[in-house]
Amino acid sequence: MIIDSHEHLMFPTEVQIKKMDEAGVDKTILFGTAPHPERAVTFSDLKSEMGALYKILAGSTTREANIQRMKDNISEVMQVIHEYPDRFYGFGSVPLELSLEDTVDWIKKQIVSNGLKGVGEFTPGSDEQIKQLETVFKALESFPYLPIWIHTFNPVTSNGIKYLMELTQKYPAVPVIYGHMGGYHWMDVIDFAKTVQNAYIDLSAAFSTLAARMAVTELPEKCLYSSDAPYGEPLLSKQLIEFVSPSNEISEKILGGNILKLIGEDNA
């Protein structure tokens, strides 16, 4: 199976499925989203849509608003999964503002009860927000089958990535997906994932074709194909993997085998 391991919910869903079909993608892992850049027609439209994301990154929304937004995002993802169960899996959001007990309860009610396959995307807007992730890591020790997906491109800094690496090592039972393979710091992420068992690399928004080539060559068992649609295109992202991969066998792992194993669906 070809699995796009990271796309954001797009409207209308039929457009998202059309893109999957054009790329030969069998199933996609859906993530909730605040902005919907696929709606934009002009540059001005895009800036307006992205304003929602910038407010979240800047921490200018209230705790209550963040929690409600995440519940709404999960509800939207679940609605699409229920409508097209043969085409989508899902990951679900988790607030950073909760206590450990409340975080565990959230994961039980919002993630596990809904049959979601992991938690995220987390997009830390500051190093302080990355430090807040430790509560989520502690909670996930009770759910070792749930990977956590963390954005590691800008605005995440090199110090933020280093702290995330410390958390990854401190909680070895928690599978950690380094979204966008560390951005400018992709070499550090590849080096790290080579020696730390629970670290995985998402290849969407790869810094360069060289970065993608090095990742799939060095870590064929740990790299995950994704498009980050609507920010990327499923077809082009898939073609990149096929172009840089040393063999068809490795392509098959990255295009679906690795993520299916990670989310426990390799025997499905």
Query: Each residue's pLDDT tens digit in the chain (268 positions)?
Result: 999 999 999 999 999 999 999 999 999 999 998 878 888 889 998 888 778 777 766 666 778 888 998 999 999 999 999 999 999 999 999 999 899 999 999 999 999 999 999 999 998 878 888 999 999 999 999 999 999 999 999 889 999 999 999 999 999 999 999 999 999 999 999 999 999 999 999 999 998 999 999 999 999 999 999 999 999 999 999 999 999 999 999 999 999 999 999 999 987 5
| Residue in the block written with tokens 């990977």 | 147
- Find residue 3's DSSP bridge partners: 27
Torsion of CA 204, 24, 245, 210, to 10 degrees: -30
The pLDDT of residue 111: 98
The pLDDT of residue 57: 65
Which residues lie closer than 8 Å to 198 by C-beta, 6 or more apart? 168, 171, 172, 173, 174, 175, 176
The pLDDT of residue 38: 85
The pLDDT of residue 58: 61
Question: 2 with 28: CB under 8 angstroms?
Answer: no
Query: Which amino acid is residue 251, in one-letter code?
Result: S
Secondary structure (3-state) at 42: coil
Q: For the chain, where are the E strands, in sequence order?
A: 3-8, 27-31, 88-92, 118-122, 148-151, 176-179, 199-202, 223-224
- Tell me the two tokens of residue 193: 């994932």
| Residue in the block written with tokens 């690795």 | 258
Question: 33 with 253: CB under 8 angstroms?
Answer: no
pTM as predicted = 0.95
- Find residue 149's DSSP bridge partners: 120, 177
The pLDDT of residue 60: 61
Which residues lie closer than 8 Å to 117 by C-beta, 6 or more apart? 29, 89, 90, 91, 146, 147, 263, 264, 265
